[in-house]
Amino acid sequence: MSDHGFHVHGPHDHHVEHVAHHGGDSFTSGLAVLTAVLSTVGAIFGYLGGHSQNAALLYKNEAAIQKTAASNQWNYYQAKSNKQNLAELSVILTSGDAQEKFKQALERYQREKEEIKGEADKLEAAAKKADEESDREMQVHQRWALATTLLQIAIALSAITLLTRKRWMLAAVFTATALGLVAGVLGYLHV
């Protein structure tokens, strides 16, 4: 509490301040250290969760770009098919040198279509791969989010344990901590 002015704080703050000025028992000190460690680990998990979410969005964006490029290639392929169809009709309707010219055009359009199709297929494969990477990163993000939430629950339970001095509540703190750490390990392992 300050010497000058008016200062308001909650019961938890009062208890922590009291322990700081008057010393505390090992239960309180241990729980304070555990809470600090949980806060630190939770902050790291939160950061990693944000990172995996951003990666998922980048992969999803890459997939959209590749899909657009593939669509453009398929449109180009269709345009070549239309020209090829016109050349086929021209072969039927002409003769002599003109017919030979359209036969060569037919062969050229066929080669060009194969190249365009190959490029479109590559772009579609790249889009599919980017979509899969995005899905994987979102699963990892969900693990990190779960881990962070469980550690936040453990922190809240440790505050309640400290305020109520109910040692049996430590089981809930340790359970939430263990589950949070397991979820964090799964996130780290990309499972």
What's the confidence (pLDDT) of residue 27?
87
Residue of higher predicted confidence among 13 and 56: 56
What's the confidence (pLDDT) of residue 20?
58
Q: Where are the domains of the chain?
A: 26-188
Tokens of 88: 């086929």
DSSP 3: S
Determine the average pLDDT of the residues in 145-170.
93
- Please tell me the pTM assigned to this model: 0.71
Measured distance CA(184)–CA(88) in Å, rounded: 63
Please state the length of the chain.
191
pLDDT tens per residue across span 24-62 = 578 888 898 999 999 999 999 999 999 999 999 999 999
